[in-house]
Structure 1
């Protein structure tokens, strides 16, 4: 969970116990007494039933498989122990190993951390061309850094990646398959976050093939042979398609995608080919819901890509809103709205110091707190925002840790009305990616400065009148908006297991605040939240196949936010707008864009959001902003905003 943002229970090594022996794949096909391999006692024992195959026939099968399951072909993701186990179980019983083992690669690789880690894993297992030396291929630092940055916990991810790389490349030579598997297994034991199963399934018998057809809605079968030169030409394209399409797919249960390789010369592969009339290689057969839909022969890479896309498009049609034309929304940037105004930092420090000195009871570490602020924080912020300083300096990890401790102490000792200068300093600091990365790595822990400030704000939602908390809410909302300048930190704010509940509660309250500046900041935060969600969903629409409504989507959260945005839009009426028509129109603009981003590719639109829009009369609420008195005396004036409101109301509501 800390690495991927979703729960994956482990990297599973599997083996088959049959005829009193345990058989598994690592450095080739290996046999041992049950439970006596170097992996030790199994955590799970799953009864797969009885086999009608006799031991001699099974030994013949294993001898044939040894030519295919060799040590040099091992790959942590693509061709491993689980590939072999699934093949053996299919041959012996006609069944398949559980989906939570064999179909997890796409689940892992579809996470930002998994997708970013893929190049590092490939580099570890990359094999040279025949006849060339075989030096160890170190994964690039850039790839490892990208993987760490994509994780909800960059610090943990970075340390684990370093541990994997150090163990894998400790020897003067290429890492062995077993060393890398054990190294990765150590990562799993520490974080329970990855998987070892492959996006390309290997089938050597009819039972295994039929099992794959039953458990996947879309299947692309590649019939090949080792003596076929065109097969070797097209195989890299097939594998690349498997990686691309399954990384972004939702698999498991009854609705996934499988790329299957059937070698006609391996095991009973010829029987699979004969069943479907395969007479030449390479041949590709496409299946939807277990039924054959198309067949093509030859090494035509362009045609293969086209047919794969057609099958997946037909099996998993894209979100219905992809057919909607909303040019006004397309022109709205999804870049976050940031608050970059720099106050007089000496005045901010003086005000905060006066609050610290006047605290009753006196803060025990007040002298240290003021020293950290005056000597380690303020000078760096001044230099950072000085136009003639290049490159802009960043706060060190040590300074940020000290400042976090000061924040913890002050959040306990001072009332919220006196804490807003401290919040404003953090707002400025979060414009720097280094500070954002620090806060992302600390998220949810005991040294999380944003959590201290957020908890302080949440405690005030019902305990104090708006006037006493106005400045604190305003600066806190601006701070949270600036957190979206760092993608990793933004993910921690929106994580279901992170701060999202607190951020949502603060946002819902502030959208209806009596003060226009607070509502503007809240509308900006709402826009940033929705834009971040929209960017992720847009990538899904562009590249993802599988049931569009992901199992982990929180429909209740989306209903809560959409309801709050619609209520806030309704409340921006003439009486309030007359105080500041420009400000009110800005709020309406941001909230309309926020609503559109949430609705456009919502995976829970039909099940949760659509019915809500009808009940709340969302279309009428938006159109009312265009009429006199709906937003200012004459309604929304900007032609661009009027177009956006009209297109969102007509197309998404």
Structure 2
């Protein structure tokens, strides 16, 4: 008998989003949506794991809207099996405010039950929110709490953030400016001081501080204020900005202590001592003073003083294996491998058919640039089935299932599932590959390497494979395959080295941009600390890459390897990788490749080689000047 399916929609903001969104975000957002699905007499929702209740009795109160999603012919027992499988993905620990939330859960459930998505204005809320200056300013704080998000980040205009905040009340302006300037540690880099002790503590506790003495009755102050805000926020935590309104009764002690006669007045403090000051709304002098103070605390990396044209022209996009053109062979081969004594049940074979059909639908969507199938359409048991198949097959026969996973993780929601993989599927595949003979397992090794490369196509999964849980297995795979006698293995391993380098360069760039004057530990991707990535792990990878460069005879493979070296060492703070490359005489090795063996002939590859040599020389000279 058909069963009715209803979507319950709640507003977690209790009307505040509708009332305040335009002032803070410059865009009308009607609600902060929470959804649940009512079916079979229960209300199913996601929070601390998957939960259920009598409809309308949850702590969210009564829904603001009930949406009829249609009816389902799926039996209740099948649906409950689906819920059991979904609990592996929608765990309490896997909750992410932007990526893996109640609305994603409701969407997957509705796709499974009725083949329809929930309304787009609900599922698109994270994207809509992050597209606003206020939303982008909150992103670091959200990622610090929940981990990196798969949503692409649009460039943030701080001026737009300040302008959006200023369109609200003075209280909203102060709040928005603080949130906009919060780094990954959650500490605001633009403050308001109202008493002398507070100001003295701010100056004492921060290496670089710019204090803006302003007044409510000063027109030039109003003109320079948003410019000061923007200059401070654009420095991403390298300098602390403080505003003091000396027209207020409570700030008169500050005014006397610092001898403020005119507004605006700017004072700059270096490690607790006054470095300089000036009065007047002079934008050029303000910018110069801020830059000078930052340079005194954070001298520019020696690489930043040079332009590396060929390096800057390198793609920042990972090398991926995205082909979905020939889907039938891996499934046909897999079924043939599972026929003799270790086959699948009838229901498992049907799930395998569903995976194949889903991938064909994904291929068609990508080809025609149409809506991709949802995770719910993949079926209830797809991941446990693939995990079971890997356990049934010896490593040398796993290539069809690894190819299937390689294709599946092209979809961001599938990649997200593997980024929270309690079964450590990728780790086990990497470990198995690192111990296998290339002659015995050529196809499986190739597919393992391609799978590793594709992991870097998703920000969450790329972070996962470089996390402390997974990185050792990834390193062993890379090191072993770089020196393989099989050309295809070396080429794909070089692609993997390049992808790792892209991720390291991206992480280092984020660390540089959010590093605070107090020298807090670096963070990656919104708060996920990648401990040890810049230490021995990187050194071992670099050592293997240099060894591969010495022995490689293909210019295409060399190009990828040299590009990976450039990403590994560009703006490296510790210089440990540079020291290794200097000791291993990579400069001399590259000279031989260009001048003696003539393996490297292309102008752009030669240019990149010379820039890598320059990076090494510059860093070595910098170290010697400080020794």
> Which category describes the TM-score, using the shorter chain as reference length?
0.5 to 0.7
Deviation at 1:499, TM superposition (A): 2.6
Does residue 565 of structure 1 match 2:545?
Answer: yes
CA deviations 1:157-184 (Å, max 9, x no partner) are: 79xxxxxxxxxxxxxxx99x9xxx9xxx
1:402 matched to which residue of 2? 381
1:613 matched to which residue of 2? 581
Q: Are the structure 2 counterparts of residues 355 and 526 from structure 1 closer, same or farther at C-alpha, using a change threshold of 3 Å?
A: same
Please say if residues 189 and 233 of structure 2, whose CA atoms lie closer than 8 Å, have aligned partners that are also in contact.
yes
Q: Are the structure 2 counterparts of residues 345 and 284 from structure 1 closer, same or farther at C-alpha, using a change threshold of 3 Å?
A: same
Distance 2:261 2:350 in 1: 81
One of 249, 254, 267 as aligned partner of 2:237: 249
Q: Are the structure 2 counterparts of residues 198 and 344 from structure 1 closer, same or farther at C-alpha, using a change threshold of 3 Å?
A: closer
One of 129, 140, 154 as aligned partner of 1:143: 129
Does residue 604 of structure 1 match 2:580?
Answer: no
Q: Are the structure 2 counterparts of residues 115 and 196 from structure 1 closer, same or farther at C-alpha, using a change threshold of 3 Å?
A: farther
Deviation at 1:588, TM superposition (A): 0.7
Deviation at 1:543, TM superposition (A): 7.7
Distance 1:243 1:114 in 2: 25
Deviation at 1:350, TM superposition (A): 0.8
Provide the secondary structure at the position in 2 that maps to 1:143: helix
1:135 matched to which residue of 2? none
Unaligned 5+ segments in structure 1 are 1-74, 76-112, 117-137, 159-173, 182-192, 251-256, 578-583
Does residue 411 of structure 1 match 2:390?
Answer: yes
Deviation at 1:526, TM superposition (A): 0.9
CA deviations 1:323-342 (Å, max 9, x no partner) are: 23322222222221122344
1:82-161 mapped onto 2 (5 Å cutoff):
142-144=128-130, 151=143
Please say if residues 549 and 603 of structure 1, whose CA atoms lie closer than 8 Å, have aligned partners that are also in contact.
no
1:314 matched to which residue of 2? 296
Q: Are the structure 2 counterparts of residues 152 and 526 from structure 1 closer, same or farther at C-alpha, using a change threshold of 3 Å?
A: farther
Distance 1:482 1:197 in 2: 35
Distance 2:587 2:493 in 1: 22
Q: Are the structure 2 counterparts of residues 610 and 373 from structure 1 closer, same or farther at C-alpha, using a change threshold of 3 Å?
A: same
Does residue 592 of structure 1 match 2:562?
Answer: yes
Q: Are the structure 2 counterparts of residues 649 and 115 from structure 1 closer, same or farther at C-alpha, using a change threshold of 3 Å?
A: farther
Q: Are the structure 2 counterparts of residues 115 and 222 from structure 1 closer, same or farther at C-alpha, using a change threshold of 3 Å?
A: farther
Provide the secondary structure at the position in 1 that maps to 2:434: coil
1:207-356 mapped onto 2 (5 Å cutoff):
207-245=197-235, 248-249=236-237, 257-266=239-248, 269-301=251-283, 303-342=285-324, 344-356=326-338
Distance 1:549 1:204 in 2: 26
- TM-score, normalisation: structure 2: 0.64
2:444 matched to which residue of 1? 472
1:381 matched to which residue of 2? 360
Q: Are the structure 2 counterparts of residues 521 and 442 from structure 1 closer, same or farther at C-alpha, using a change threshold of 3 Å?
A: closer
Deviation at 1:407, TM superposition (A): 1.3
Deviation at 1:148, TM superposition (A): 7.7
Q: Are the structure 2 counterparts of residues 558 and 481 from structure 1 closer, same or farther at C-alpha, using a change threshold of 3 Å?
A: same
Moved more, 504-513 or 531-540: 531-540
CA deviations 1:80-135 (Å, max 9, x no partner) are: xxxxxxxxxxxxxxxxxxxxxxxxxxxxxxxxx9999xxxxxxxxxxxxxxxxxxx
One of 477, 483, 486 as aligned partner of 1:506: 477
Please say if residues 211 and 266 of structure 2, whose CA atoms lie closer than 8 Å, have aligned partners that are also in contact.
yes
Please say if residues 433 and 445 of structure 2, whose CA atoms lie closer than 8 Å, have aligned partners that are also in contact.
no
CA deviations 1:537-565 (Å, max 9, x no partner) are: 34565786648895566332221221121
2:414 matched to which residue of 1? 438
Provide the secondary structure at the position in 1 that maps to 2:261: coil
Provide the secondary structure at the position in 1 that maps to 2:203: helix
Q: Are the structure 2 counterparts of residues 445 and 486 from structure 1 closer, same or farther at C-alpha, using a change threshold of 3 Å?
A: closer
Provide the secondary structure at the position in 2 that maps to 1:625: helix
Distance 1:421 1:114 in 2: 35
Please say if residues 436 and 489 of structure 1, whose CA atoms lie closer than 8 Å, have aligned partners that are also in contact.
no
One of 428, 439, 446 as aligned partner of 1:455: 428
One of 193, 198, 202 as aligned partner of 1:203: 193
2:606 matched to which residue of 1? 642
Deviation at 1:278, TM superposition (A): 1.4
Provide the secondary structure at the position in 1 that maps to 2:384: helix
One of 457, 466, 479 as aligned partner of 1:494: 466
Please say if residues 530 and 595 of structure 1, whose CA atoms lie closer than 8 Å, have aligned partners that are also in contact.
yes
Please say if residues 342 and 428 of structure 1, whose CA atoms lie closer than 8 Å, have aligned partners that are also in contact.
yes
Provide the secondary structure at the position in 2 that maps to 1:466: coil
Unaligned 5+ segments in structure 2 are 1-23, 25-95, 100-123, 151-167, 176-182, 524-530, 618-627
Please say if residues 390 and 401 of structure 2, whose CA atoms lie closer than 8 Å, have aligned partners that are also in contact.
no
Provide the secondary structure at the position in 1 that maps to 2:263: coil
